[in-house]
């Protein structure tokens, strides 16, 4: 179940710097209301990757406040478009779900959390996208 506050932390393990604005995360919450499954609206991109992301570096998304909507889970779409990247990647872009430990977010150390998606770039400049259920 999604906590009141959560975020996605992205790690670049491709061996190269990823150009700016090439990684996106969007999500759509799901909950039960009056006995029926209710879907929220799709979010805008929650990851602000306005600059390059170095190899072995982490980048956290904006905190998602679930205190009002109380979504049980979300369908999240993880994308990384490295097709025009300056250097050729060979490795993974890893996405971790982190849940806050209190109403005032206290986050685990980067690299800790639940791995929710891995996009692999096997020595090729391509675009990858996967949709996963996050809870």
**125 three-class SS:** coil
Tokens 């992301």 -> residue: 53
Q: Where are the beta strands (DSSP E) in 1-135?
A: 5-13, 23-33, 36-39, 58-60, 64-65, 73-81, 91-99, 114-121, 127-134
| CA–CA distance, 108 with 9 (Å, rounded to integer) | 10
* 63-119 pLDDT per residue, tens: 999 988 999 999 999 999 999 988 899 999 999 999 987 777 789 899 889 999 999
- Output the six-digit token pair for 129: 């996208």
Instruction: Please identify which residue in the block is written with the tokens 């849940």.
Output: 99
Query: Is the pTM above the cut of 0.85?
Result: yes
């Amino acid at each position: 179940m999604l906590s009141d506050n959560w975020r996605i932390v992205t790690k670049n393990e491709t061996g190269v710097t990823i150009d700016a604005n090439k990684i996106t995360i969007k999500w759509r919450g799901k909950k039960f209301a009056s006995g029926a499954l209710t879907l929220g609206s799709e979010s805008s991109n929650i990851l602000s990757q306005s600059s390059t992301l170095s190899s072995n570096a982490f980048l956290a998304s904006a905190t998602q406040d679930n205190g009002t909507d109380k979504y049980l889970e979300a369908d999240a779409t993880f994308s990384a478009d490295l097709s025009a990247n300056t250097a050729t990647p060979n490795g993974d872009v890893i996405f971790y779900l982190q849940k806050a430990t209190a109403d005032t977010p206290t986050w685990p150390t980067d690299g800790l959390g639940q791995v929710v998606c891995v996009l692999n770039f096997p020595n090729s400049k391509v675009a990858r996208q996967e949709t996963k259920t996050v809870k």
